[in-house]
Structure 1
Amino acid sequence: MTETADARPDKVRERTCIGCRKRSSPADLLRMTVSGGLVLPDPGRRAPGRGAHLHPTIECFELAVRRKAFPRAFKVPGPLETTGLREQIGKEQ
């Protein structure tokens, strides 16, 4: 079985924070998924579905909310519930 990481060993993986729009290593970002209109953190990076990434800081979270980046990142219509995500980010700081 071939893994994608072995296919391009010189390729550095980067993801873009939906808040500040800066590129970082996936290890520096919190992956999130959406389920039933609720944004859920995915610290293990294994949840199914489309993921989005965010620096685990209140500043990046607030920027993402202000820019309405969550629905765009997940490609879903309407507002999403982010209260639980904000509480978790606040605990980590």
Structure 2
Amino acid sequence: MVSGRTRARACPERTCVGCRKRAAKHELLRVTAVEGVCVPDPRGTLPGRGAYLHPEQSCLDLAVRRRAFSRAFRAQGALDTEPLRQHVAVGSDSAPAP
């Protein structure tokens, strides 16, 4: 008798607010808004709504240009993304070259 269940667990997927492509949750960076500032949350432990973003400069630029963070966090006006830019820049510098 087959129950229809598989032993492999499904990996949760999220959508990048920059490029709008779906990816596994562990491949994306969680971002939260704290007092009008977009803060990176790599451990996923900060409270509040989260938005997900590929940790790449191009996706960050798209998200800022589309005002995706304001929409995702349901915030009025623009949010400061400087701490997020610094985190993405440091992460891309430490990535191994192909």
TM-score range, shorter chain: 0.7 to 0.9
When normalised by structure 1's length, the TM-score is: 0.87
Report the equivalent of 2:83. Answer: 84
Q: Which residue of 2 aligns with 1:27?
A: 26
SS at match of 2:85: helix
Residue ranges of structure 1 left out of the alignment (5+ in a row): 1-8
1:64 aligns to what?
63
Q: C-alpha root-mean-square deviation of aligned residues, in Å?
A: 1.1
Q: Which amino acid in 1 is paired with 2:90?
A: K
How many pairs align? 85
CA displacement at 1:11 relative to structure 2: 4.1
Cα shift readout 1:36-64 (whole Å, capped 9, x = no counterpart): 00010101101110000000000000000
Identity of aligned residues (%): 48
TM-score with structure 2 setting the length: 0.82
Larger-gyration structure (1/2): 2
- The runs of at least 4 aligned residues of structure 1 exceeding 2 Å deviation read 9-12
User: Runs of 5+ in structure 2 lacking a partner?
Assistant: 1-7, 93-98
| AA in 1 matched with 2:68 | A
Aligned residues of 2:15 and 2:23 also touching (Cα < 8 A): yes
* Distance across 2 between alignment mates of 1:12 and 1:41: 22
